[in-house]
Amino acid sequence: AQSVTQLDSQVPVFEEAPVELRCNYSSSVSVYLFWYVQYPNQGLQLLLKYLSGSTLVKGINGFEAEFNKSQTSFHLRKPSVHISDTAEYFCAVSDPNTGNQFYFGTGTSLTVIP
Amino acid sequence: DAGVTQSPTHLIKTRGQQVTLRCSPKSGHDTVSWYQQALGQGPQFIFQYYEEEERQRGNFPDRFSGHQFPNYSSELNVNALLLGDSALYLCASSPGTSYGYTFGSGTRLTVV
């Protein structure tokens, strides 16, 4: 089975500063990769996804991520964060050969400090 | 256009009881997946329903069962509840096997 490691459980960052949330996955076979955001008492909202093509993926709200196959990583970045970015962020992997279910990491809590 | 609707939003059950959670998928979606999200953890895949059949299943015991109706809505049933079943249960719908998932806001289950 696939597994995902989110290396930082909590990331505090000042408003307008850049941020990187780290994600590594276990498999060396072809995988699809995703980042989701979860606001308090809400479901998951897709930020961006990598299925194929360019390794630099741009998503909503100014987020982007880079797929690095050799390092099995898919780190999420934003050049300038806002207070409204405070939320829980989940990295997920899916193996298209075994179905379209997700394997999620344990999440990174991003807190933007005014 | 309504997204994924889950009911109830919260409920409290006693250990050993049975519970049923409900999910109405987004319009145009025919596949429903269920996830369990324990406090402080990422969601874990329970199972997926398509054409009224369980298509895939995660590593959950048989106490967890489900059903999909002809209108694509779905139920998650959990028997013999344990304290460890306390979690947020998320329903996600998608069109077929695509990755165009829409997640609901979840049902918060507390087992006491």
What pLDDT, on a 0 to 100 scale, did the predictor assign at position A41? 79
Q: How many CB atoms lie within 10 A of CB A8?
A: 14
Query: In chain B, pLDDT over 90 holds for what percent of residues?
Result: 91
Could you give the CA distance from residue A93 to residue A31 in angstroms, rounded to a whole number?
Answer: 7
| B1-56 residue pLDDT tens | 569 999 999 999 999 999 999 999 999 999 999 999 999 899 999 999 999 999 99
With CB atoms and an 8 Å threshold, state whether B94 touches A41: no
Position A95 confidence tier, pLDDT thresholds 50, 70, 90: confident
SS3 state of residue B56: strand
CA angle A44, A112, B45 (to 5 degrees): 20
Which residues of A, range 41-100, sit inside 8 Å of B by Cβ? 41-46, 49, 51, 90, 92, 94, 99-100
With CB atoms and an 8 Å threshold, state whether B43 touches A4: no
Could you give the CA distance from residue A14 to residue B76 in angstroms, rounded to a whole number?
Answer: 41
Q: Which residues contact A17 (CB under 8 A, 6 or more apart)?
A: A80, A81
Query: In chain A, pLDDT over 70 holds for what percent of residues?
Result: 98
Position A35 confidence tier, pLDDT thresholds 50, 70, 90: very high
| A36-63 residue pLDDT tens | 999 987 889 999 999 988 999 999 999 9
Could you give the CA distance from residue A96 to residue B40 in angstroms, rounded to a whole number?
Answer: 27
